[in-house]
């Protein structure tokens, strides 16, 4: 591997020297990543780097493997250069401080230039792309007495617009300029933008390509760190991380807390860093990963109404058995909830049968439709399996009328005879008339 720049032709030649064993290594990732969304956030300085052409070839490789890519870019370096060339002082370079009118004007110019360079690069790689206006913003407002003027925060992302582009094989380019309620421009920090896009689009990964080898902690680049450890570090010892990397660390954490499972920090100046990070088990940058279960907690009495409201949609479609608020309250100890930003977005329950401690029953599994198909149901069931095992059960039972294939195909349950149910439960089963499939998993 070299750090120098290569032409696309040289890169392609290098690709043809991949050994069959390497190829097999890469191919094993293909079904796993197919159709997943990756948000790639490019620092302004990376777009200006001589390796940028190589990075775009890597992005073209991801697209050819049916990975859906959204590109977000920063403008930090370009706005500083424009400011120097035109002798116009700027109030902030990264989109978190105050943006006055002159700074906004330079930000728009810098952003158009950077978006255009990306357009050119993707065109050279025969990729269709489009610069979008999918980010609606509102002014950040007055914080601690300081009016941030034209600095914005994300209000809403037009996900339908972006997914329509992706579905048509068009790579969306999202610039760090959002559009306010009156259509006027607002400057948004690109690290934040990447995290917001990943949340709204249910991305599997964010990849921040920056001019550093990864996340540096106490002077050393860490290859991986859990979100829990990073949160503790940012709270207790923020100076352990260089200031230039702190924004990415904080936004990576935000992304994980709002449901994006993994965030990578790669060196955008290094040849092959993107493909190496994704397709080798060790990686070359820094991987920040969430604790799969950190958003799951035991339900409290104060959650009763929220659980009732949450499951109402499922009850309406007869996916779930109707339970009154009183019934949920009476059994609140059996419920577990999944929380994002202090809102409950999924629930599950674990019940026992007095006559048979070997068998526990999983029930009331419901994931809000907006959050479905991003691994939350799987995590909830895995968590309940772990709890059931801890409690010494041997068998976990689930009754399902419409989602039984989720349990059998995704979660490793098998269909079983209803006679397996303890007598008291069998009686309730017969009385309900739902004729649900009985599914079991041996723990
Ligand atoms: C069933 C349910 C809990 C799954 O949760 P989820 O968070 O969407 O699922 P995950 O993202 O963890 O799992 C995704 C996998 O399960 C599959 N899956 C999701 N819902 C499914 C369903 N209803 N039937 C069959 N398979 C399903 C997906 O195709 C995906 O498979 P893949 O990994 O091979 O691509 C959720 O869709 C739901 O709440 N449905 C309505 C309520 C319900 O039916 N509850 C079960 C009552 S016991």
Instruction: List domains and CATH numbers for the chain.
Output: 8-289 (3.40.1160.10), 296-442 (3.40.630.30)
Per-residue model confidence (pLDDT) at position 25 = 67
H or E element: which one contains 348?
A: strand 343-353
Q: What are phi and psi of 174, to 5 degrees?
A: -115, 120
Q: What are phi and psi of 401, to 5 degrees?
A: -100, -30
- Cα–Cα distance for residue pair 417/1, rounded to 1 Å: 58
What's the gap in Å between 270 CA and the centre of ligand 1? Answer: 39
CA distances from 408 to 337, 380, 397, 415 (A): 23, 15, 12, 8
H or E element: which one contains 287?
A: strand 286-289
Ligand 1, residue 314: give the atom nearest the CA: 42
Per-residue model confidence (pLDDT) at position 21 = 59
Residue linked to tokens 């991949």: 18
What's the token pair of residue 41?
């956030």
pLDDT tens for the chain, residues 1 to 443: 333 344 444 444 444 445 555 676 667 667 768 889 999 999 999 999 999 999 999 999 999 888 999 999 999 999 999 999 999 999 999 999 999 999 999 999 999 999 999 999 999 999 999 999 999 999 999 999 999 999 999 999 999 999 999 999 999 999 999 999 999 999 999 999 999 999 999 999 999 999 999 999 999 999 889 898 999 999 999 999 999 899 899 999 999 988 898 999 999 999 888 988 888 766 689 999 887 777 899 999 999 999 999 998 888 887 888 889 999 999 999 999 999 877 899 999 999 998 898 999 999 999 999 889 888 999 999 999 989 988 889 999 999 998 999 999 999 999 999 999 999 999 999 998 989 999 999 99
Choose one of 37, 373, 397 to mutate for the ligand 1 pocket test, by most ligand atoms within 8 angstroms of C-beta. Answer: 373
- Sorted by sequence, the CB contacts under 8 Å of residue 169 that are 6+ apart come out as 128
Half-sphere exposure of 260 (CA within 13 A, CB side): 29
Per-residue model confidence (pLDDT) at position 160 = 97
Per-residue model confidence (pLDDT) at position 232 = 93
Per-residue model confidence (pLDDT) at position 282 = 64
Of 87, 110, 86, 251, the C-alpha closest to 187 is: 110
Q: Is the CB of 319 under 6 A from ligand 1?
A: yes
What's the gap in Å between 342 CA and the centre of ligand 1? Answer: 23
Q: What are phi and psi of 242, to 5 degrees?
A: -60, 145
What's the gap in Å between 32 CA and the centre of ligand 1? Answer: 17
Provide the H-helix boundaries in 65-132.
76-86, 101-124
Q: What is the pTM of this model?
A: 0.68
- Cα–Cα distance for residue pair 111/77, rounded to 1 Å: 11
Catalogue the E-assigned strands of 96-250.
Answer: 129-131, 135-139, 142-143, 146-147, 152-157, 171-174, 177-179, 185-187, 205-210, 215-217, 220-222, 224-226
């Amino acid at each position: 591997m070299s750090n120098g720049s290569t032409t696309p032709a040289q890169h392609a030649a290098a690709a043809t020297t991949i050994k069959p064993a390497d190829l097999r290594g890469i191919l094993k990732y293909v079904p796993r990543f197919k159709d997943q969304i990756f948000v790639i956030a490019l620092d302004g300085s990376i777009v200006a780097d001589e390796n940028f052409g190589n990075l775009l070839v890597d992005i073209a490789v991801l697209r050819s493997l049916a990975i859906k890519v959204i590109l977000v870019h920063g403008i930090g370096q370009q706005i500083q250069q424009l400011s120097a060339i035109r002798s116009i002082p700027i109030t902030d370079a990264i989109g978190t401080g105050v943006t006055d009118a002159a700074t906004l004007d330079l930000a728009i110019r810098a952003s158009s230039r950077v978006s255009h360079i990306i357009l050119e690069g993707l065109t050279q790689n025969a990729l269709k792309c489009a610069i979008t206006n999918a980010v609606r913003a509102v002014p950040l407002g007055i914080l601690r007495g300081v009016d941030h003027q034209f600095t914005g925060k994300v209000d809403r992302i037009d996900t339908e617009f972006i997914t329509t582009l992706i579905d048509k094989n068009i790579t969306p380019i999202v610039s760090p300029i959002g559009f306010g309620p009156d259509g006027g421009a607002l400057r948004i920090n690109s690290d934040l933008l990447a995290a917001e896009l990943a949340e709204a689009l249910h991305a599997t990964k964010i990849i921040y390509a920056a001019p550093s080898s990864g996340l540096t902690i106490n002077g050393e680049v860490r290859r991986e760190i859990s979100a829990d450890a990073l949160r503790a570090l940012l709270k207790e010892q923020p100076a352990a991380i260089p200031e230039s990397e702190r924004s990415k660390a904080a936004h990576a954490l935000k992304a994980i807390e709002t449901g994006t499972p993994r965030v990578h920090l790669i060196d955008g100046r290094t040849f092959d860093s993107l493909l190496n990070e994704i397709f080798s088990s060790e990686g070359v940058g820094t991987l920040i990963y969430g604790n799969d279960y950190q958003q799951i907690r035991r339900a409290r009495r104060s959650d009763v109404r929220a659980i009732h409201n949450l499951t109402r949609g499922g009850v309406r479609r007869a996916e779930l058995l109707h339970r009154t608020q009183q019934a949920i309250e009476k059994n609140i100890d059996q419920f577990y909830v999944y929380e994002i930003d202090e809102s409950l977005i999924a629930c599950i329950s674990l019940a026992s049968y007095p006559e048979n401690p070997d068998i526990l029953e999983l029930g009331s599994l419901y994931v809000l439709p907006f959050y479905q198909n991003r691994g939350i149901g799987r995590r909830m069931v895995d968590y309940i399996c772990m709890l059931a095992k801890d409690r010494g059960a041997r068998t976990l039972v689930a009754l399902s009328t419409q989602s039984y294939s989720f349990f059998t195909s995704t979660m490793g349950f098998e269909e079983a005879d209803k006679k397996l149910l303890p007598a008291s439960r069998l009686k309730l089963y017969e009385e309900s008339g739902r004729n649900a499939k009985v599914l079991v998993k041996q723990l």
